[in-house]
Structure 1
Amino acid sequence: MGAMGTGNELPPGYPVQWEADVVLRDGSVAHLRPIKPSDTAGIHAFHARQSEESIYLRFFAPLRRLSDKDVHRFTHVDYEDRVALVLTLRDEIIGIGRYDRVSPTSAEVAFNVSDHYQGKGIGSVLLEHLAAIAQEFGITRFTAEVLPQNRKMLAVFSDAGYEVSRKVEDGVVSLHFDIEPTDRSKAVAMSREHRAEALSVSRILRPQVVAVIGAGRSPDSMGHHFLGNLLDAGFTGTVHPVNARAKKILGRTAYDTIADVPGPVDLAVVAVPAEKVLGVVDECAAAGVDALLVVSAGFAERADGEGDDRQAELVRRVRGSGMRIVGPNSFGIINTDAEVRLNASLSPSLPPAGRLGLFAQSGALGIAVLASAERRGLGLSTFASAGNRIDVSGNDFMQYWIDDDATEAVGLYLESMGNPRKFSRIARNLGRIKPVIVVRSGVSAYGVPPGHRVRRTKARPEVFAAMLGQAGVIQVSNVHQLFDVAQLVVHQPLPAGRRVAVVGNSSALGALSAGALAGRGLEVTHGPVNLPSDATAEQFRAALDEAFADPDVDSVFTCFIPPIVAHDEEVTEAVRAAARQSEKTCVATFLGMSGVSPDSHLAEGGESHQAIPVYAMPEDAAYALGKATKYAQWRGKDHGEPVAPTGINRRVAEDVVQTVLSVSPEGRRLDPDETSALLAAYGIEVWPTRRVATVDDAVAAAEDIGYPVVLKSTAPMLRHQGGVTGVRVDLANEQAVREAWASLHERLSPLAAGQLEVQRMATPGVACVVTADEDPLFGPVVSFGVAGLPTELLDDISHRIPPLTDVAVSELISSVKAAPVLHGHRGSTPVHRAALADLIARVSVISDDMPEIESLRLAPVNAHPGGVEVLGAEVTVAPMERRTDPGRRSLT
């Protein structure tokens, strides 16, 4: 969004990157931005609306009117030593926060919140953003002076999660606290973000009054469909059609405009031509509508600039008015709760109630998803189609589902992702209590649908998969697999382990099932038990009881062909009865049985937890069971603690980077001294090298460094290749250096790769590569691999997204296929894994702290039983681009 406020002119140095749309405590949206000189009239108006008490609490004096001199000082800042932010709603200032530097590392902070908007968490939002900005300029400590009776402002500081010191002097409370984020302050901020965003979605999914704008009389019109579906579903609230050319539609009184609708409107469904949407938005804003569902098409999904411009303006107007929006080009939203019964969608009927929450982006896909769920008899709690996803996204709905008791599992079909760092954070929180199943088709730089606002990523698809894996997400490839997994995790307890019993009445089917299970990483510890084809229901039940009772079994996999003697219902009842007596997981494959659909459930009472998911083929059942088991293992394991290496001096690192960027604003690769200084600030020592132009220089360098040494080419195409063409090792004396020089010079000169360098000989070990790259979409990406053929030929590289825990670092090391060479392969001594983990942890922290580091490559990293040595390092810095999840609350 561009700058908003009372003037369009931006002052010199105006930091546009500080602007943010934030969700307040009550679920509404406000715009936060730096103050501008043109805010003079707005500041006067804000002050005039304040009560005498609020004015006294802020200024310690009854200033009924601010002087022009004071307002000039307030509105004219340098955006570094003096910073002020304003929070606006419909261009009206509702909150002001500022800091003034009082020493190189401290600043005095103050806030003023509109009397009419108290209790919305405005002070907390301003403090959070001011603290983040102050840290950019080396400020580490805030001070404040507050009157003792100003309990609300005192609470802003004490509740923020900082360690606040207080001192009372002359009737004023002096506060001071470090603003370096702590675990507690981060947790407080994320908790507030969660509650606010969940509430904003709750207001969308649980409205009491819905207006359908553009509800036509023609049964073929979009608005008519939405109105009819709302009424047919039995919506428990009130529905108002809005149409200036009709008095009644479907038996309901129609109003000319939204302003004519009696009482407040929680949700407005906008189904008018695209060129009329912006006008409708303005009318809704004036009427105080909370949220919009825009089903109209004709925005950025069109292949022309007009649609892009219209969509950008739509975002600006909606956010500036404090509303939230689903869409445009949305298929709709659904809530099956009996107390709501909301079908604001193009689905002709309300799906059966269930415990699966579903999110899809495109309208066409939404239809397919709902139809597939209905065919399976899989009930839904809520459903949403985000359309072009200009505001409300899957992240917002996940925030809602964390607290929604009606939802026990979540399915997401993602065609694009605007903020994967935030997605990972929220999905991890949700996944710890509820399964999150994601169809990740098309989420890459290669498949962004028209109309979706997303930064282009440089990262490969493996990075996205790694991010989902970190978050504990169950990754599937299509909607069919999504529902295969969903019908298991919704209706069955999660598997306690990988051990499976196979019980059936066909040896061929049993063998096929066992093979499918093994292929999914599961272990058949009981069976396959193959009953005769003429087995009775009693024999089925006895075999199943024995399988469930086996202590070496975590899940029971039943696979039957139609029995000859027993009736179909007798067999299904045997499965039900056996499963009811156990807390173990049960899945079934019934081939060709009459009266039992392979995509339904052997259920009593519909959505009962005793429902047994049934699959058409053993491979589908094994796939679902494997995914559920892997998720259960993730959920049950220790996820570790955030890495916090010691001996870090961020100020030194920031000085190195800022010094380089002040001279080279476009960024550049650091020279060896700069690289060493930057990494040393994070406790990473790079072994020095000496570039040499002649053989005598090489001998002199070797003698200075101390034998034995290595002589190697500096050519990028040859460095760190693991072969002998560009390097000579273990040179123990002058003669060895001279012979190595002659050999390399003769071999490499024709390749223009003859520039050489000398370095101390490292302890024999395993050469590794550790990198960190700043991606426009994902932010920092840390990668690890074993140097040489594993990374260069076999692409054996693993990735993780910081911030990392100690467990995540360990998993990163272990996840490469070449990891056995680190752990004593073929009798070799294992490397010092803790030292390698510490190095990766330091790389993850520096990459997370400093988005200016465009790329960082440590290679080779020599890992050996005694520790690790960084033998080479390359760092490139570039001007900082704001990350999608910037560390302070913001809607992107």
Structure 2
Amino acid sequence: METTARTREEERGYPDHWEADVVLRDGGTAHLRPIRPSDSDKLDAFHNAQSEESTYLRFFAPYPRLSERDLHRFTHVDHRDRVAIIALIGDEIVGVVRYDKINASQAEVAFNISDAHQGRGLGSVLLEHVAAAARERGITRFFAETLPSNARMINVFQEAGYTVAQDLDDGIVTVDFDLTPTADSVAVMRAREHRAEARSIQRVLRPQHVAVVGASRAYRTVGRTVLRNLEAAGFTGSVSVVNPGASEVAGHPAYPSVRDVPGEVDLAVIAVPAEAVEAVVVDCAARGVLGLVVLSVGFGEDGSAEGRRRQRELVRLARSHGMRVIGPSSFGVVNTEPEVQLNASLAPVAPARGRIGMFSQAGALGLAILDGAAQRGLGMSTYVSAGNRADVSANDMLQYWQDDEGTSAVLLYLESIGNPRKFTRLARRVALDKPVVALRSGRASQGVPIGHSVRESRVPREAVDALFRQAGVIRVESISQLFDVGQLVATQPAPAGDRVAVVGNSDALGLLTADALESWRMQLAGDPVSVRPEATAEEFAAAVEQVFARDDVHSVVAVFMPPLVTPGQDVARVVADAAQRYGKTTVATFLGIRGVPEQLRGEPDGTMPPRGSVPSYPTPEEAVRALVAASRYAAWRRRPRGTVPELEGVDRVAARALVEERLAQAGEGERVRLDYADAATLLRHYGVRVEPTVFVSTVGEAVAAARRLGYPVVLKTAVPALRSRPDLSDVRLDLGDSTALVRAWSELRLSLGEEAVRDAMVQRMAPVGVPVVISALEDPLFGPVVTFGVGGVASEVLGDRTYRFPPVTDVDVAELVRGVKALPLLTGYRGGNEPVDLAAIEVLVQRVAQLKDDLPEVAEVVLDPVLTSAGGATVVRAVVWLARPGAREDVGPRRLV
């Protein structure tokens, strides 16, 4: 019955894309969707459960029952002029928002939130979603009428960040506001998103009662291992066991179901066969469990249709009942806070307490990752293994770690990035205060692991690297490097600059270190300082003091061969003491040790290793590589943040109208190429002027066109198959009069054939300059991507391009333009030409980036060539493609994706 009703609704334009899972203020989740006719019974139950006061505030009168007519009117909407969105937890409606269109641009909006769920932020999140739906339907203003005593509803509007006007007349308050998103409304939404998502993770990582579902009497089973590890870690809360086939497990009473566990259960760790997980989730939902860690395998990672179905249903059930899911195929979670001491993982020994938050998508690598950290003496604040990353992702963890006082650095092992736009936004925000170090696997193939739900991407791996740099993320290439950099940024202060001094007891090691620093373009602060191999501790101390005391030294690399006379412990203490006193970033190559030996540790502070400890690496090259990563990150933090400029001469309304008109003329799913005139018009709406082009098919038309444009002109063939072929000359330049133009026409016809001049074009001759290419595309995964390169061999053959992801600041654009290896061609290489106007290029890039950010329907825009010189930049040719895009996942109201 439900399926039949749903099918009819979809035929009437049911907007599936309005459905969303959302996180509420307290960290719980709810499902939002447009109302359906089949919701009549649910709506009736919702209304009957409301208090008299709530009903009176909603209807301005006692309204104990909804009539059949009311129920039909409230549940039968057209999703255009009359819209209603409901919030559900489980199968119960807990909130309703609706609007009724009054005129072409205005609608009346009203809320009703369940008494039992007041104060959870349902009103604000429903407002975000209904406002987005209204804007989609062309409505620009909301108004609402309410009683003065309905403070909750009035506050929802006032706190949303919109400019709200209020009027009191005859005992009724009228609230009116524009729906156009503002900086304040977006900031309010982001702040609420941050608090809610952080809270949802906190509920999982700081439980007071954990139920292990599937723990058995067999010692080496997954569930029993988790139970044993919880006890060994000294979990401060209570633990219950769920096993319908046993009365007790390892001294714990065993309950047949989660429903039977006494007391409130915060976290359920599920270790049962995949086919049994769904029933366990239903039991957890009925019991009010807050979060799930699913260790079970047999879901999306097995590649089967049934496994993918199980995974989707797991997430749907959990989110619809207010729960977040870590997994499936997770290795578990760890929280070393003394107040928690949670080891709900398969690691036999929990990591020591530290200041690193670690997120891993690879369940199978969990043991190796934790073992690698333990070997280095590297402690963690929290560890989360997401497995298939069906729900909780790195983005959620970044929200949590941003405010977590016990975490000072973040390490990420990523097999995929489900929402790169959101990742960029969150990582940039976290990285301003805490280093974020990331290893992304699959760089060679850009592949996505089985079990991960990620849209296909067309951008090259260099673009992903650019995304990390833009966000301030330190990218590494192996798990070993992940920990190399992690132990440095977690223990040492950020470098204040890029000048590095080298000190040690080996000339050979000193020179190797200096070579490594120069290969990474770091600045050496003088020659390496060396003492003799048999030097005493006092001599070491004097050399170390000499280096650290210099004002022009920002970082120090201490390199030591095993001393022949002086004990190594004494040398280590000298280095550690100087690093502590001077507060300069210090790394060491000491006795071939990887990690932090005891003598290089700072003052005990309850974490491992203590803050101020000096990390040691087996070779100078590894030490330098870690230091370079930390130095570049510190430089990113020191640089100006930049702003997204307000561009003059932009007509967004006209640009969108043109795009919509051309797409309306296209077939479903068709990719449309704009003609030259439309492409130039669209770009002109964003302040980009393209050189006029006149298409001709006879020599007479060419002469007439040249007369209108003004000499000198350029004659080109417009036949795509003949354009830009290196073996053919398809362009005649600098034609100063009609005689030269007629001669060029004849030459073009003779060399390329009659076809070349039947479809030709005339342009005014642009100023001579260095050609560059500016382009942007809509990627299914990453959204808008802007690319820059110097024209010709540099970008086409050598792939010398740079990438950024809108919205871009003026600093981002400056780095984009100056990041190409062929930059000397633009800055006057060997005095061969004047430096070009880089500022003019940056303005063009900024305008293209703004166009692409505003218009997802622009599938691709290419300005090629743009001729640049000291006098500015001239766009000679522009190509624009349009297509209906998928939804951008970080645009619009809050939702879990």
Q: Shared topology, TM-score over 0.5?
A: yes
Query: In the TM superposition, what whole-angstrom CA distance separates every residue of 1:483-537 from its partner, at most 9, and x where no partner exists?
Result: 1111111111110000011001111110001111112221111330111111111
Alpha-carbon contact 1:768-1:786 (below 8 Å) kept: yes
Give, as a single letter, the amino acid of the residue that structure 2 aligns with 1:275: E
Name the structure 2 match of 1:98.
Answer: 98
Describe how 1:139-218 pairs up with structure 2 within 5 A: 139-218=139-218
Amino acid at match of 2:819: S
- Identity of matched residues, %: 51
Q: Deviations over 1:108-127 (max 9, x none)?
A: 32222111111111111111
Segments of 5+ residues of structure 2 without an aligned counterpart are none
**1:789-804 pair list within 5 angstroms:** 789-804=793-808
Confirm or deny that 1:348 pairs with 2:348: yes
2:735 pairs with 1:731: yes
User: 1:90-135: per-residue Cα shift (whole Å, max 9, x none)?
Assistant: 0211111222333333333222211111111111111112222333
* 3-state SS of 2:78 partner: coil
Correspondence for 1:629: 631
Q: 1:877 aligns with which of 846, 861, 882?
A: 882
Counterpart-to-counterpart distance in 1, 2:867 and 2:477: 38
1:656 equivalent in structure 2:
658
1:696 is displaced (CA, Å) by 1.4
Q: For residue 88 of structure 1, what is the aligned residue in structure 2? A: 88
Q: Deviations over 1:792-835 (max 9, x none)?
A: 12211111111111111111111112223333444433333333
The CA deviation at 1:314 is 1.5
Moved more, 492-501 or 121-130: 121-130
1:294 positional shift? 0.7
Counterpart amino acid of residue 729 in structure 1: L
Residue 97 of structure 1 contacts residue 111 of structure 1 at CA under 8 Å; is this kept in 2? Answer: yes
Q: Output the amino acid matched with 1:797.
A: R
- Shift, 1:183, TM fit: 1.8
**Given the superposition, is the C-alpha separation of residues 155 and 53 from structure 1 closer, same or farther in structure 2, using an over 3 Å criterion?**
same
Given that 1:500 and 1:525 are in contact with CA atoms closer than 8 Å, whether structure 2 keeps it comes out as yes
User: Counterpart of 1:633 in structure 2: which amino acid?
Assistant: A
Q: Hey, what does 1:410 align to over in structure 2?
A: 410
Q: Give the alignment of 1:34-53 within 5 angstroms.
A: 34-53=34-53
Q: In the TM superposition, what is the alpha-carbon distance from 1:140 to its structure 2 partner?
A: 2.7
Letter in 2 for 1:363: G
Question: Which residue is 1:666 aligned to?
Answer: 669
Give the length in aligned residue pairs: 887
Q: Is the 8 Å Cα contact of residues 335 and 382 (structure 1) preserved in structure 2?
A: yes
Which stretch shifts more, 196-205 or 805-814? 805-814
Residues 748 and 81 of structure 1: CA distance in aligned 2, closer, same or farther (over 3 Å): farther
**1:846 to 2:851 alignment:** yes
Aligned residue runs from structure 1 range 437-836, under 5 A: 437-442=437-442, 446-592=446-592, 600=597, 602-604=600-602, 605=604, 606-664=608-666, 665-667=668-670, 668-716=672-720, 719=723, 725-749=729-753, 755-827=759-831, 828-836=833-841
* Residues in 2 aligned to 1:98 and 1:861: alpha-carbon distance in whole angstroms: 50
CA-CA distance at 1:136 after TM superposition: 2.6
Gaps of 5+ in 1: none
Question: What's the CA shift string for 1:187-227, capped at 9, x where partnerless?
Answer: 11111111100000001000000001111110121111111
Q: Secondary structure at the match of 2:387?
A: coil
- The worse-fitting range, judged by mean Cα deviation, of 229-238 and 827-836 is 827-836
What SS class does the counterpart of residue 725 from structure 1 fall into? coil
Within 5 Å, which residues of 2 pair with 1:423-438? 423-438=423-438
Q: Secondary structure at 1:254's aligned position in 2?
A: strand
Distance 2:103 2:330 in 1: 52
CA distance, structure 1, for counterparts of residue 349 and residue 7 of structure 2: 48
Q: 1:149 to 1:865 in 2, by over 3 A?
A: farther
Alpha-carbon distance between aligned partners in 1 of 2:625 and 2:656, rounded to the nearest angstrom: 48
Relative to 1, partners in 2 of residues 1:720 and 1:633: Cα closer, same or farther, differing over 3 Å? farther
- Structure 1's 671 and 607: CA in aligned 2 closer, same or farther, altered over 3 A? same
| CA distance in structure 1 between the partners assigned to 2:389 and 2:580 by the alignment | 43
Change (3 A) 1:5 1:349: farther
Letter in 1 for 2:847: R
Matches within 5 A, 1:11-50: 11=10, 12-50=12-50
1:240 matched to 2:240? The reply is yes
- TM score, norm. by length of structure 2: 0.96
What is the CA distance between 1:9 and its match in structure 2? 5.5
Secondary structure, aligned partner of 2:239: strand
- SS of the equivalent of 1:640 reads coil
Q: Distance in 1 between matches of 2:50 and 2:727?
A: 75
Amino acid at match of 1:666: G
CA gap of 1:109–1:388, structure 2 versus 1, over 3 A, is same
Structure 1 residue 77 displacement after superposition? 2.6
Looking at structure 2, the residues matched to 6 and 875 of structure 1 have their Cα atoms a distance apart, in angstroms, of: 42
Looking at structure 2, the residues matched to 100 and 821 of structure 1 have their Cα atoms a distance apart, in angstroms, of 60
Matched AA of 2:713: V
**Partner amino acid for 1:516?**
A
Deviation at 1:71, TM superposition (A): 3.3
For residues 226 and 568 of structure 1, what CA distance do their matches in structure 2 show?
41
User: Compared with structure 1, are the counterparts of its residues 198 and 703 closer, same or farther at alpha carbon in structure 2 (3 Å cutoff)?
Assistant: same
| 8 Å Cα contact 1:351/1:379 also seen in 2 | yes
| Cα 1:197/1:809, change in 2 over 3 Å | same
Distance 1:136 1:813 in 2: 36
What is the CA deviation profile of residues 27-83 of structure 1, one whole-angstrom value per residue up to 9, with x for unaligned ones? 001111122222222222222222222222222222222343343333233323332
Cα 1:397–1:261, aligned 2, differ >3 Å: closer, same or farther?
A: same
Deviations 1:617-653 (A, max 9, x none): 0000000000000000101211111233123222222
Work out the CA distance in 2 between the residues paired with 1:326 and 1:598: 30
**SS of the residue aligned with 2:789?**
strand
Shift of 1:259: 0.7
Alignment-mate amino acid for residue 745 of structure 1: R
Letter of the structure 1 residue corresponding to residue 891 of structure 2 = P
Per-residue deviation, residues 233-266 of structure 1 (Å, max 9, x unmatched): 1110000000111111111111111111001110
In 1, Cα distance between equivalents of 2:35 and 2:654: 31
TM-score, normalised by the number of residues in structure 1:
0.96
Question: Match for residue 837 of structure 1?
Answer: 842
Q: How does 1:299-338 map to 2 (within 5 A)?
A: 299-338=299-338
Distance in 2 between residues matched to 1:45 and 1:663, nearest whole Å: 46
Give distance in 2, aligned partners of 1:549 and 1:711: 67
RMSD across aligned positions (CA): 2.0
Distance 1:46 1:848 in 2: 41
CA change 1:363–1:722 in 2 (3 A) is same
Could you tell me how far 1:721 is from its partner in structure 2? 7.4
Decide which moves more: 533-542 or 31-40.
Answer: 31-40
Distance 1:467 1:222, change over 3 A: same
Aligned equivalents of 1:707, 1:419: Cα separation in 2 = 51
Alpha-carbon distance in structure 1 between the residues aligned to 2:333 and 2:150: 43
Change (3 A) 1:167 1:345: same
CA distance in 2, matches of 1:79, 1:877: 27
Instruction: Please tell me whether the aligned partners of residues 26 and 199 of structure 2 are also in contact (alpha carbons under 8 angstroms).
Output: yes
The 8 Å contact of residues 375 and 599 in structure 1, kept in 2 or not, is answered as no
After the TM superposition, which of the residue ranges 648-657 and 28-37 deviates more from structure 2?
648-657
Deviation at 1:589, TM superposition (A): 0.6
8 A contact 1:87–1:93 mirrored in 2: yes
Q: Matched residue of 1:154: which SS? A: helix
Contact 1:692/1:757 (8 A) holds in 2? yes
1:408 and 1:435 in contact (8 A); partners too: yes
| Alpha-carbon distance in 2 for matches of 1:615, 1:310 | 45
